[in-house]
Structure 1
Amino acid sequence: MIRSLLSADYPRSRLVAAMLLAIVVLLALVPFVFPGARSMSVAAKILVFVLLVASYDLLLGYTGIVSFAHTMFFGIGAYGVAIASTRLDATWGALAVGILCALALSALLALVIGLFSLRVKAIFFAMITLAVASAFQTLASQLSEVTGGEDGLSFKVPRLLRPSFEPFENPILGLDVDGRVITYYLLFFAVLVLFLMLLRIVNSPFGRVLQAIRENDFRAEAIGYRTVVFRTVSNVLAALFATLAGALLAIWLRYNGPDTSLSFEIMLDTLLIVVIGGMGTMYGAVIGSALFVFAQSYLQDMMKWISGGLESVPLLAALFSPDRWLLWLGLLFVLSVYHFPTGIVGRLRARAIERARGGGK
């Protein structure tokens, strides 16, 4: 059963397995253990980033394609839900229409970008995707009648997902179940299923070809694989999963705007998480997203607590000032790259393999 779910791609490291299990269990129990609005929002953001980063890992880690247009597809998914829910009634049908239209647009754009751009060198493809993403963000900001412009769109969701909806009179295990909790578990199970689908894709024969292209595209072409076709399909698949991640974010926030899903900051965060977690591992998306989003959300609070305890030492108190949280976040990133050059999962897997070989001698 587990072999089938994980597509025979086990963590291959006890520590990685323990970290993955802890993250999944904590995310599953957040509404019961940490029922506050902030903790649930952080957990929901982690879930969205797990899917977004995993989809980008399919592109970068498994295919070797550097694209800066990934957040464009993320934004298309969010805008699809927002626009459909604004123009139509707040129903499941509206959500379905928005998601399907967003998927169709993302597939078309990814196909066009792939067919016309993947024949050029990697740096030129990266620049092309950056230009396309910037143009799309500008377009979304200017089409105020459709997208809401800089103000974005606030919309209603089906009644089952609204915070005011309370299906049970009494708490369940101490938790007052409402539409917000239902929405959270919708995100949780959707991300779980979609992540397992991505894991299946990268461990299929198709995924093996992508890895061969990443390692040596000339050799892959020489043995009969049409690299442009495989790269284009990979680009389309990654775009579709990113679109679904954007749709889930919009459903959770019940709002979407240019800065929410199209900002270049999200693209940079995605790149950082892929590097921190480990490119070409998939599991790195889970661990990297959890660590990065947690640090991004709570590092400032932790520094405020540390600074308060060091008031007697003004220099140290100033060093740990909450206003310098970005400095410390950057330092943590540099240290993680230095100690884990192949990412956390990549490094821990390599250590486990080394120990297994050493024990076999």
Structure 2
Amino acid sequence: MAWPLRYARDHLVHLAVVFVFAVYPGIYTLAVNSPLSAEFTALLPRIETLVVVLFFALFAMSFDFISGYTGYLSFGHAAFYGTGAYLVVLAANGKLPLLGPETPFMLLLVIAGVAAAVVALLIGSVSFRLSGVYFAMITLGFSQVLYVFIRDWDFVGSAPRNGVAVTGTTEGFRIGIPGVESLSVAIGQLTGDSIEGLFGFISLSATEVSFYAIGAVVLVCYLLLQRLVHSPFGRVLIAIRENEERARAIGYNTYVYKLSAFVMSGFFAGVAGALFAGFRRSVTPENGFYFLVAGDALLASILGGFGTLAGPLYGRLFDQGAREFLSKEGGGGGLLPYLRANLGEGTLSTELFNGVTVSEAIDTFLNGHAALFVGVLFVLFVLYVPNGVLGTLRMRYGGVLAKAIPRRVQQWWRS
């Protein structure tokens, strides 16, 4: 069997996931313009939401690469995400030596990853002398030091506490082949390229172009991470997670392996931060360096499945989709606006109990409480689905889904 067919057979699930993401914008457009427009608008996540899911999922994957495969929880992982994000914005504003607004964004992605990897090397060389909760706390401490530093550093902008935005240019950051205009597209909420008449009949909005461009970068990074996980290097990381003393006893320098994984993880976290800044064209200390950014990565990893690499993508999609569905009005659809628009004035004004109307009850329980419900779902996941979505499916099907499902399909076909 030729290698492309063999690869496709062995990665059937991956190809299916990529296909679903690829066709989702078209499905979403058809759905929200159908007779059930209100229902689909409330249920389906927006394309812009999926863009956020993609670049943050890469960050969560980098977190899972070190925390899920070595067992060392890096609570300070936001330091690398913020490093990549700030580097892109500062370079675009001409504040960094040798890097200016004319620097290709694809090169900035690599430089942001390298800068984050250097920070990871410095932090990891100290932190990995500890283990367990002490490792988690010292990485958190380093991250908070950087957070306070960047929040009060006047070099980044006139009001560093409020963050910094790209100034001086309205052109979006370009993803593609540097120097080849026809093979690169600009990304951004307001500055991205739109495409008309692709293949003669496909038209893409600026947000959809950003979705595909950022998705391509995330896919490449995921494949690189997956290759690392399935290499002999990745097997040693798993051995460290299962029994570090035994791995050390058979001759592995576990300190070097852990530090190397930490540096690689920092690189991809920096790339994720660069994608975030490239799309948003701004960054603040809170969404760059604050420790809760790493907390969101931990949440995505637990929901999707710790130590699964792809799990954080599904965990972040579930988290972000639930937040949007339960968001208050103005959050881009969701349950609350749908109920207000479709229940009718008579139903909304109906008294339920002690003078409380249906409308007031809806506002009380739904308006602005998305985080509360996501928290409840998180607790339920920890109690009843401790291995996360992907981890549970792997247990159910007896191994990695990319191999288990084709095997099951083959057995079913033969029977």
Question: Shorter-chain TM-score: what band?
Answer: 0.7 to 0.9
60-69 vs 325-334, greater mean Cα deviation: 325-334
Residue 76 of structure 2 corresponds to residue 69 of structure 1: yes
The equivalent of 2:295 in structure 1 is 268
Measured at CA, do residues 154 and 32 of structure 1 come closer, stay the same or move farther in structure 2, by a change above 3 Å?
farther
The equivalent of 1:242 in structure 2 is 269
The equivalent of 2:238 in structure 1 is 211
Distance in 1 between residues matched to 2:338 and 2:152, nearest whole Å: 44
The equivalent of 2:22 in structure 1 is 28
Shift of 1:31: 4.1
Residue 288 of structure 2 corresponds to residue 252 of structure 1: no
Which residue of 45, 55, 60 corresponds with 1:48? 55
The equivalent of 2:203 in structure 1 is 175
Shift of 1:343: 1.0
* Bigger relative contact order (CA 8 A; separation at least 6): 1
Question: Where does 1:131-170 land on structure 2 (aligned, <5 Å)?
Answer: 131-147=141-157, 149-155=160-166, 156=169, 157-158=172-173, 160-161=185-186, 163=190, 170=197
SS at 1:344 equivalent: helix
Residue 324 of structure 2 corresponds to residue 297 of structure 1: yes
Shift of 1:101: 4.0
Aligned residue pairs total 346
Shift of 1:3: 5.7
Shift of 1:169: 5.8
Q: Which amino acid aligns with 1:128?
A: I
Equivalent pair of 1:84/1:95 in contact (CA under 8 Å): no
Residue 376 of structure 2 corresponds to residue 341 of structure 1: no
Question: Where does 1:284-323 land on structure 2 (aligned, <5 Å)?
Answer: 284-300=311-327, 301-305=333-337, 308=340, 309=343, 311=348, 312=350, 313=352, 314=357, 317=362, 320-323=365-368
TM-score (norm 2): 0.74
Equivalent pair of 1:23/1:287 in contact (CA under 8 Å): no
Distance in 2 between residues matched to 1:165 and 1:142, nearest whole Å: 31
Question: Where does 1:214-225 land on structure 2 (aligned, <5 Å)?
Answer: 214-225=241-252
Shift of 1:233: 0.4
Equivalent pair of 1:99/1:244 in contact (CA under 8 Å): yes
The equivalent of 1:14 in structure 2 is none
Over the aligned positions, Cα root-mean-square deviation in angstroms equals 3.1
Shift of 1:176: 4.5
Shift of 1:335: 1.8
Residue 357 of structure 2 corresponds to residue 330 of structure 1: no
Shift of 1:204: 0.6
Shift of 1:28: 2.0
Measured at CA, do residues 141 and 165 of structure 1 come closer, stay the same or move farther in structure 2, by a change above 3 Å?
closer
Which residue of 136, 149, 160 corresponds with 1:126? 136
Considering fraction of residues, name the structure with more strand: 2
Which residue of 93, 112, 119 corresponds with 1:109? 119
Equivalent pair of 2:62/2:268 in contact (CA under 8 Å): yes
The equivalent of 1:350 in structure 2 is 395
Q: Which amino acid aligns with 1:103?
A: G
* Percentage of pairs with the same residue: 32
Distance in 2 between residues matched to 1:100 and 1:283, nearest whole Å: 22
Distance in 1 between residues matched to 2:192 and 2:315, nearest whole Å: 34
Provide structure 1 residue ranges, at least 5 long, that are not aligned to the other structure. 12-16
Distance in 2 between residues matched to 1:167 and 1:50, nearest whole Å: 24
Shift of 1:29: 3.1
Distance in 2 between residues matched to 1:86 and 1:94, nearest whole Å: 13
Distance in 2 between residues matched to 1:306 and 1:168, nearest whole Å: 31
Question: Where does 1:76-91 land on structure 2 (aligned, <5 Å)?
Answer: 76-87=83-94, 90-91=101-102
Shift of 1:231: 0.4
Shift of 1:334: 1.6
SS at 1:161 equivalent: strand
Considering fraction of residues, name the structure with more helix: 1
Q: Which amino acid aligns with 1:27?
A: F
Measured at CA, do residues 151 and 220 of structure 1 come closer, stay the same or move farther in structure 2, by a change above 3 Å?
same
TM-score (norm 1): 0.84
Which residue of 217, 226, 241 corresponds with 1:190? 217
Provide structure 2 residue ranges, at least 5 long, that are not aligned to the other structure. 33-44, 175-184, 328-332
SS at 1:207 equivalent: helix
